[in-house]
């Protein structure tokens, strides 16, 4: 057969839960039924759908890996029992004994999997995808390229695959890849191009960071050119601890045309009708091609009956602030709901940070699950309490006031504290009270510190840093203001009440732990501070590079010292949703005990450039 064949392919952009094999399998059945109802012949689910992603050290448990294998075969049978055996389903899972055979020598530690070695990867765990059809596991693919940078530790957990399975479905040859395989030039897509295929499907678990959606389309277009075939890219959606996945699934033609694109931050079934010209592929090969072995399985030669293609949807891109807002809302909602938390509580001070957390919380959970507590001290201004009350009123959340001055006085009558120690005592009294309310009522305490404060250590340990989750931990202060203005504008355009008091946005930021205190008393402007943090923390630039970028030397020296000495605090901070190039936590790992300090470059007199 050399003429065109048709396929309706669905991308099931779903929100899974790590470790919930039964629940995730039920999710696959539910969305496969939706896809079948839409007339899909092939439905693609995200990376490691059955186990959730990332499963981290659960991968090293043989019991979990074997349960994943069982869940996969059970799922194939269940799909057939539900009348879905005729639909091809590609689903990600954790493979244990199956997959792509032994790993190449250059990608496995010297101790390998020899009997008796204390190798945590014994049993060859693989990040895998399988094609299910007719109640059977028809083909299995193990991810070839294992990312080991940023938030990824896949080289710690998995053995890379060496086989590229190609399945003929309704006369079309479909190749399987997984996520990082698309980021590597000359990888599995290049092998697929040399082997000759009609379609490449790629399950993904690609975490969100700002503007990452701008990278995906050009990336997939490059791989489609390399594969000489259309690519269907199905991405995970939802929050998992610090990570949030934005979906943004898409399909491109062999020539790079965007055929379909899903919206971000929501579960979605995206269908695309493909007309695959088999004449484009003059030769179809199998066996060893470069570093991989191509295997071919014929599932069905007969093409589907001709049908009228439907126009696919292409979601409009979100603006940067809306994209970030939706990421933060989804990350918070999934952390709370997936962990079974009934509600949240936090200190509502009247400042911009707590006002933003309040608005995020209500958007994520609904006002009835959100509790704000004002904790005024003797230094709190009247407008702060008024702004806190205004914020609560605008959002309709639960609100109470607990003055802390008598408790602070009791501490100070027992121990003599001054300066920063006395200021931080107030924050720690607040933290203690909020933790007490959390314990009493079952709320999860949210920390309201932003990235700028966390970076320079201006988030008090066991005080305002206390909490089980920090929604704006990766949001610089300048972005806090931008998000607040955007959220108010978003409400105003829809005729809704602006959720954030304008006074909280406009007033100079202050911790109000001393008379007349302002953040600008001890920090550079937040515009200067955030610019240095972005270059030093996110981009890992050293002193010389920072100065080359035009930062003030005195500001750089001061900020770098503050960032470096605060590492021990960050090790004890709550997780928070990652939105930046590099977030504190699993994304940025520096030793606490560390003598290295960036220093101003010295120029010797007469030295040659």
Return the active site residues: 47, 143, 179
For helices 320-338 and 477-493, what crossing angle results, to 10°?
100
Structure tokens at 298: 């014929």
**CB–CB of 34/11 below 8 Å?**
no
Whole-angstrom Cα distance, residue 110 to residue 147?
A: 20
Which residue from 426, 365, 442, 433 is spatially nearest to 397, judged by alpha carbons? Answer: 365
Q: What DSSP string runs through 422-448?
A: HHHHHHHHHHHHHHHHHHHH-PEEBP-
Whole-angstrom Cα distance, residue 223 to residue 275?
A: 19
**CB–CB of 376/403 below 8 Å?**
yes
Which residue from 152, 33, 42 is spatially nearest to 83, judged by alpha carbons? Answer: 33
Q: What is the DSSP letter of 314?
A: B
Whole-angstrom Cα distance, residue 292 to residue 297?
A: 16
Give the DSSP H/E element, type plus range, for residue 156.
helix 154-157
**CB–CB of 347/373 below 8 Å?**
yes
Structure tokens at 41: 């012949």
Count of CA atoms in the C-beta half-sphere (13 A) of 278: 17
CB burial class (10 A; 0-12, 13-18, 19+) of residue 306?
Answer: exposed
User: What's the N-to-C CA distance of the chain in angstroms?
Assistant: 66
Q: How far is CA 307 from CA 5, 40, 304, in A?
A: 10, 12, 8
Q: Which residue has the tokens 């269907």?
A: 232
Three-class SS state of 581: coil
């Amino acid at each position: 057969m050399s003429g065109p064949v048709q396929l309706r392919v669905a991308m099931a952009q779903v929100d899974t839960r790590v470790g919930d094999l039964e629940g995730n399998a039920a999710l696959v059945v539910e969305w496969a039924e939706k896809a079948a109802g839409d007339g899909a012949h092939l439905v693609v689910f995200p990376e490691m759908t059955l186990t959730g992603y990332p499963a981290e050290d659960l991968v090293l448990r043989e019991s979990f890996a074997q349960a994943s294998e069982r869940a996969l075969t059970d799922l194939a049978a269940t799909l057939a029992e539900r009348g879905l055996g005729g639909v091809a389903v590609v689903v990600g899972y954790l493979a244990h004994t199956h997959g792509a055979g032994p790993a190449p020598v250059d990608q496995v530690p010297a101790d390998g999997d020899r009997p008796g070695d204390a190798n945590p990867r014994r049993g060859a765990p693989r990040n895998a995808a399988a094609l299910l059809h007719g109640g059977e596991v028809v083909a299995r693919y193990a991810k070839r390229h294992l990312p080991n940078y940023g938030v990824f530790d896949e080289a710690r957990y998995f053995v890379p695959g060496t086989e590229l399975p190609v399945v003929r479905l309704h006369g079309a040859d479909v190749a399987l890849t997984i996520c990082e395989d698309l980021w590597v030039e000359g990888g599995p897509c290049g092998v697929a191009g040399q082997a000759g295929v009609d379609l490449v499907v790629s399950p993904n678990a690609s975490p969100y960071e700002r503007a990452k959606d701008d990278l995906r389309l050009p990336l997939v277009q490059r791989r489609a050119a390399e594969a000489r075939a259309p690519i269907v890219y199905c991405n995970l959606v939802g929050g998992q601890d610090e990570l949030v996945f934005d979906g943004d699934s898409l399909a491109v033609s062999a020539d790079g045309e965007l055929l379909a694109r899903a919206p971000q931050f929501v579960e979605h079934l995206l269908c695309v009708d493909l007309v695959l010209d088999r004449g484009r592929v003059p030769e179809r090969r199998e066996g060893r091609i470069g570093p991989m072995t191509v295997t071919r399985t014929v599932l069905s030669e007969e093409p589907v009956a001709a049908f009228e293609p439907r126009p696919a949807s292409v979601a409009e891109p979100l603006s940067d602030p809306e994209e970030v807002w939706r990421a933060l809302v989804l990350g918070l909602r999934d952390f709370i709901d997936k962990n079974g938390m009934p509600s949240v509580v936090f200190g509502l001070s009247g400042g911009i940070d707590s006002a933003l957390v309040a608005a995020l919380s209500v958007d994520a959970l609904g006002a009835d699950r959100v509790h704000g507590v004002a904790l005024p001290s003797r230094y709190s201004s009247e407008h702060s309490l008024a702004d806190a009350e205004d914020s609560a009123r605008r959002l309709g959340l639960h609100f109470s006031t607990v003055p802390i001055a008598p408790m602070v006085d009791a501490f100070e009558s027992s121990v003599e504290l001054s300066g920063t120690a006395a200021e931080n005592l107030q924050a720690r009294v607040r933290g203690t009270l909020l933790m007490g309310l959390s314990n009493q009522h079952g709320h999860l305490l949210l920390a309201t510190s932003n990235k700028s404060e966390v970076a320079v250590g201006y988030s008090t340990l066991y005080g305002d840093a206390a909490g089980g989750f920090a929604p704006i931990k990766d949001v610089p202060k300048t972005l806090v203001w931008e998000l607040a203005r955007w959220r108010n504008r978003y409400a105003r355009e829809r005729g809704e009440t602006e959720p954030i008091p304008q006074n909280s946005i406009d007033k100079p930021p202050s911790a109000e732990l001393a008379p007349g205190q302002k953040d600008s008393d001890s920090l550079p402007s937040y515009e200067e501070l955030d610019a240095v943090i972005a270059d030093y923390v996110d981009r890992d630039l050293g002193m010389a590079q920072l100065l080359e970028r035009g930062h003030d030397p005195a500001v750089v020296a001061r900020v770098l010292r503050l960032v470096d000495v605060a590492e021990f605090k960050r090790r004890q901070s709550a997780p928070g949703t990652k939105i930046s190039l590099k977030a504190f936590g699993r994304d940025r790992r520096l030793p606490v005990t560390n003598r290295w300090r960036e220093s101003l470059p010295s120029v010797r007199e007469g030295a040659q450039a």
